[in-house]
Amino acid sequence: MSGFGIYVHWPFCAAKCPYCDFNSHVRTRIDETGWVEAIGRELEWTAAKQGDARPIVETIFFGGGTPSLLQGASVARTLDAIARLWRTANDLEVTLEANPASADAARFADYRAAGVNRLSLGVQALNDKDLKLLGRLHDVAEAKAALNLAMTTFARVSLDLIYARPAQTVAEWRAELREALAFETEHLSLYQLTIEPATPFYGLHKSGTLKIPDEELAAELFEVTQELTASAGRPAYEISNHARPGAEARHNLLYWRYGSYAGVGPGAHGRLDVGGTRVATQSEKLPERWREKVRRDGHGMVETSEVSRGDAAHEHLLMNLRLTEGIDLAAYRARWGTAPSEERIAALREDGLVAVNGERLSATPRGRLLLNRVIAALSD
């Protein structure tokens, strides 16, 4: 099977970016010790829910929000709590998401000493005009300094960029992506800008003030991304994720291979395998309400429900098809007793959206860009 990982959500940021709809909040004063204690209680609740048959933890991911606002001691306490509650793998992967505006050498060294062995840095753009437009608190010089610091501190580094930005041309993106690739990080997450409801960008886009590339240009930018990353030895292994082969994010692979994971912290969700059933967990999103619930009930979960076999099979298909490697239909059939029909696969194949190699079904790059269409066509 695909292993077990733990996601820890830190819901605070120094400022809210106008495009972002992640569960992230700006607060003037944060009682960090109290929040970290509450995360510890939710970890205890999760371990108790799994009972004696607790799986070995293979990956841990501190996401956010901005987990790099945390002190090293808080990360260490959380990792200690996990090690007390679960057995951890010898090659445990521990990732922390960092924002260049909160990167400093002493803090990075503390994270490494605490056990973080992979850093994911939110660079977003390599020109000052767009960093401003994206509402970021850092400039290019700070982003590059943070990247260099990350690469001298951690064995494994990933960087995030957002492309298909307003007024971005193919030539500009080529130059910027080349510059990013020259850092030779083993991993890059390259996201097309999406306009999310209830963000300032949504209103600006609706009123016509903020124009983003049309579908055709966005597809061209996606193709350029595939081409440049592949020729730099960092091919796509998922829609937006690129790595040197062997350096994929194991935590994210676990989601996409439909492994099981716990999610703790405000708004985190999880998929636990308890006594042969898949249990979905979803915790309260608003940090203060989440914390009050943890104080009262020992956890902040607002939903823990069994995932029906039909829904689980659908999720499995959806997650696997995000990956370049696609889905092993024989294993899928053995697990769920069903698989997409040959006629449906053939129709998508004719449209150039999927490829078949023995028992492996995968979406082509164009199919990954139109994944909702592919999934809808493969399902009922």
Residues near ligand SF4 (CB under 6 A) are: 13, 16-17, 20, 22, 24, 64-66, 99, 122
Q: Which stretch binds ligand SAM (CB under 6 A): 61-69, 280-288, 350-358, 369-377?
A: 61-69
> Which residue in 162, 254, 294, 317 binds ligand SAM (CB under 6 A)?
162
How far is the C-alpha of 250 from the C-alpha of 264, rounded, in Å? 18
| Count of residues near ligand SAM by CB under 6 A | 16
Of 16 and 309, which has the nearer Cβ to ligand SF4? 16
Give me the least distance between CB of 160 and ligand SF4, in Å please. Answer: 9
> Which residue in 179, 184, 196, 342 binds ligand SAM (CB under 6 A)?
196
Would you give the DSSP letter of residue 307? P
64 binds ligand SAM (CB under 6 A): yes
> Which residue in 160, 186, 248, 284 binds ligand SAM (CB under 6 A)?
160
> Which of 215, 210, 144, 212 has the alpha carbon at shortest distance from 176?
144
- Nearest residue to ligand SAM on Cβ basis: 122
How far is the C-alpha of 52 from the C-alpha of 223, rounded, in Å? 48
122 binds ligand SAM (CB under 6 A): yes
How far is the C-alpha of 158 from the C-alpha of 243, rounded, in Å? 9
Whole-angstrom Cα Rg for the chain: 21
* Residue in the block written with tokens 């090659």: 91
Of 131 and 353, which has the nearer Cβ to ligand SAM? 131
> Which residue in 2, 16, 22, 203 binds ligand SAM (CB under 6 A)?
22
Of 162 and 312, which has the nearer Cβ to ligand SAM? 162
How far is the C-alpha of 350 from the C-alpha of 151, rounded, in Å? 44
How far is the C-alpha of 108 from the C-alpha of 117, rounded, in Å? 10
DSSP 11-23: -B-SS--TT--SS
Give me the least distance between CB of 17 and ligand SAM, in Å please. Answer: 6
Choose from ligand SF4, ligand SAM, none: what does 16 bind? Cβ within 5-8 Å by kind: ligand SF4
How far is the C-alpha of 119 from the C-alpha of 147, rounded, in Å? 10
How far is the C-alpha of 203 from the C-alpha of 208, rounded, in Å? 9
Choose from ligand SAM, ligand SF4, none: what does 162 bind? Cβ within 5-8 Å by kind: ligand SAM
DSSP 166-212: TT--HHHHHHHHHHHHTT--SEEEEEE----TTSHHHHHHHTTSS--
66 binds ligand SAM (CB under 6 A): yes
Choose from ligand SF4, ligand SAM, none: what does 193 bind? Cβ within 5-8 Å by kind: ligand SAM
Would you give the DSSP letter of residue 188? E
Q: Is the peptide bond between 115 and the residue preceding it cis, with omega within 30 degrees of 0?
A: no
* Residue in the block written with tokens 């929040």: 35
20 binds ligand SAM (CB under 6 A): yes
* Residue in the block written with tokens 């070995």: 56
249 binds ligand SAM (CB under 6 A): no
How far is the C-alpha of 288 from the C-alpha of 267, rounded, in Å? 11
Of 152 and 194, which has the nearer Cβ to ligand SAM? 194
Of 121 and 264, which has the nearer Cβ to ligand SF4? 121
How far is the C-alpha of 17 from the C-alpha of 8, rounded, in Å? 21
Of 53 and 198, which has the nearer Cβ to ligand SAM? 198
Which residues bind to ligand SAM, rule: CB under 6 A?
Answer: 19-20, 22, 63-64, 66, 97, 99, 122, 124, 160, 162, 191, 193-194, 196
